[in-house]
Amino acid sequence: MQDLSPLVSDTLDEAVQNAGGDAVPDLVKPWLAVGIGLAAVLVVTIALFLIVNYVLRHRPLLRRDVAKSRLPFFLVMAFGVTLAVVKASGYADAWTKTIAFLLVLGLIGSIAALLIVLLGLLEDVLMARYRTDLENPRRVAKLRTQIGLLRRVATALILVLAVAGALLTIPEVRALGAGLLASAGLISVVAGLAVQSSLSNVFAGLQIAFTDAIRVEDTVMVEMQRGVIEEITLTYVVVLMPDGRRMILPSTYFTTTPFENWSRRSSEISGSVMLDLNWNAPIEHLRTRLKQLLDATDLWDGRNGSLTVADAVGGTLNVSVFVSARNAADLIALKSYVREKLIAELQEKYPEALPVPVAMRRPGI
């Protein structure tokens, strides 16, 4: 900013003079220059984003994302121009130094905010290229997981650098840095022990993202429960359960504990429906009816649809109906659909094929 201060000051001084600045007291001129500079920044910001909106008029989603950077961009320009004017004013009193210090902090914070917004915009732009790739949903899920984690890492790095930059503007902190560096060995050991578990989760999160063990929207079995990966962060993974509950697991869980990934290679999934029937159950009729039911629903993906007698003990037949669907949600709905329809078919046409519950049996039967 110091190199740009004379240029900004000369430009704004000229603007003040053109605006009748000869009649303005010297004490007011810097503030008048700041006002003119802020007005110019506002005009430039509005004009720039009007042009961007026109260029992106056929891409409403991207235009909406770009609009999020309008305020951070204005703040960066406003703080930068104001700081340049204050530094070029020549005043060295305590109030001027305090204002300059606050402006530096504001500039650092607004730059960090702008960079974070631009990271989100970059993520949306990258994902927009693959969001419509319906033929390869696994690739989309993989990229979504990896890009999301990289954005979080970059955001954390920007925040750390912003805080460090703000602290380094304080002379006392810069002087303290020499003492901290002298004891860096001891501090590193203490810090390493203090954040060992946190760092383990961070590295586990990165390992999950880039080893492709799990992805967002994968169907997994964790803690003897089935769920869908909803979110993967640097330190934890959110698993959405069928009943709407969310299980929060540390990232290290998926690197140290065995778990089942039902959609590791593809989102397609198979399952079975078990029926206990009497020995006189019409197996062939049920096979025909199953084919009719599967052909009549969009939940079935056409890969697997069969009915077999898995076992015959204790006076009943254990009938297994195997079906497949495009994803776990469709499979749950398909299994319920097949189970309900087959039981209704037996109740209506072959009630004798259904076993009588023990509680309903009369003595001697």
| C-alpha closest to that of 272 among 329, 219, 319 | 319
Distance CA 55, CA 50 (A): 9
Angle, helix 137-168 to helix 94-128, in steps of 10 degrees: 170
Would you state the structure tokens that stand for residue 140, as one six-digit string? 């989309």
Mark which of 98, 129, 160 sits at the end of a domain.
129
Task: Give the chain's radius of gyration (CA, Å).
Answer: 33
Single-letter amino acid code for the residue at 353: A
Longest dimension (CA), the chain: 116
Of 76-85, 112-121, 208-217, highest mean pLDDT: 112-121
**What is the pLDDT at residue 197?**
55
Mark which of 105, 129, 153 sits at the end of a domain.
129
Mark which of 62, 97, 129 sits at the end of a domain.
129
- Count of the separate structural domains present in the chain: 2
Residue in the structure block whose two tokens are 């499979």: 331
Per residue in 74-104, pLDDT (tens digit) is: 888 888 888 887 777 666 667 777 888 888 8
Distance CA 271, CA 229 (A): 19
Q: What is the mean pLDDT of residues 124-135?
A: 66
Strand order in the sheet with 269-277: 269-277, 316-325, 300-313
Residue in the structure block whose two tokens are 């330190």: 235
Would residue 243 count as lying in a domain? no
Distance CA 26, CA 15 (A): 15
**Whether 316 contacts 277, CB under 8 Å:** yes
Beta bridge partners of 227: 220
Give, as one character, the DSSP assignment of residue 130.
T
pLDDT greater than 90 at residue 291: yes
Would residue 112 count as lying in a domain? yes
Question: 339 or 84: which carries more pLDDT confidence?
Answer: 339
CATH code, 285: 3.30.70.100
pLDDT greater than 60 at residue 153: yes
